[in-house]
Structure 1
Amino acid sequence: MRRITMWLVATVAVVVLLFSYRTSTMGPAGPASAAEGGTAEGGTAPGIVSGSPGAAADPPGSGAGDTAPPTAPGTPGNTAKAGTDLVVNGTVVQTRWGPVQVQVHIISGRITDVTALQVPNGNRRDIEINSFAVPHLRSEVLTAQSADIDVVSGATVTSEGYLGSLQAALDSAHFKG
């Protein structure tokens, strides 16, 4: 009788531990919150963040030519633009490893910079993969001047999220690359 009781208690303990264990495939804890840029649908609307006629002389990402504040998470972007200089946020793409969102800088009809606003970073492996994949994706986009590039081997899920967010930003900017 004592063995059966011990076996039953051990089995229940193992089952409880198995169901409470959080694996790396579960993504970030909980749904995306407004503070992380999420909406009830799980992403922000793409939109033009800022534009400035003097941005061509400023290095991309310096903020020196930005005139409009960034959009609030979960809201459509500002449509403030002057000339052909744009900074556009893509949608937040939910992947199985976590959210991915990019921001694209377009000056005089050319993609001059792509910044990853969100990438999966739930564990050390995510950080290692993305520290290689994100700069590689950026370089390929700047060379191709479009979202029509190959995914990075070993970072397929993040690459697909990156390209999905980028394409949404380019569509929002009516970019014809």
Structure 2
Amino acid sequence: MRKVLFIIVLALAGLFPLLRYHPAATEAAQSAPAPSAPAPPSATAPPDPGTPSSSAPSSAGGPPSARIVDGSKVDTDFGPYQVRATFSAGRIIDVQMITEPSDRRSRRIAAMAASSLRAEALRAQSAHIDTVSGATQTSEAYAQSLQAAIDAKGN
């Protein structure tokens, strides 16, 4: 009798976490667009996310000769990433992450890595940047999207 009671208690203790589990990403959250940085006032509707694009020179929020270019959207196991690079006089003057996965954990990782990746890209002036520890896929997707923006910028 004691063994049966002991087994029932252990079974309930094992099932309790499963009953309390609530996935962070619900179906509605997965279909909703990921939050992104605000677009510059001169930017128009976003282009097809699968291809790199560039916008006209921007006069708001940067030097008069600044050119804003969106990199391609890079899909990872955790979701899509995309960056927007701002160029002036052939140099990268700003990089922003504009698309990131919708789940909470991936967004937190992306937010923690974004400042390091931005600083590294500005220092290197290229997409050859170091990977952030604990954010490998985020770093690789960031670099791929940044490289697409650099390639789309042209000269």
TM, length-normalised to structure 2? 0.65
Alignment of 1:37-56 (within 5 A): 43-52=49-58, 55=59
Counterpart selection for 1:138 from 118, 125, 144: 118
Aligned 1:112-131 pairs, distance under 5 A: 112-123=93-104, 125-131=105-111
Residue 107 of structure 1 pairs with residue 83 of structure 2: no
Contact 1:89 1:169 (8 Å CA) reproduced: yes
Offset at 1:59?
Answer: 4.2
User: Residue deviations 1:126-173, cap 9 Å, x none?
Assistant: 232122101110000001110011111100011111111100000011
From 136, 151, 158, give the equivalent of 2:131: 151
- Would you say 1:171 and 2:155 are equivalent positions? no
1:3-18 correspondence runs (5 A): none
Aligned residues: 119
Q: Flag structure 1 segments of 5+ consecutive residues without an equivalent.
A: 1-20, 66-83
RMSD: 2.9
Q: Post-superposition, which runs of at least 4 consecutive aligned residues in structure 1 deviate over 3 A?
A: 21-24
The answer for unaligned runs of 5 or more in structure 2 is: 1-21, 34-45
Deviations 1:70-119 (A, max 9, x none): xxxxxxxxxxxxxx531100001011111100000000111000011011
How many percent identity over aligned positions? 37
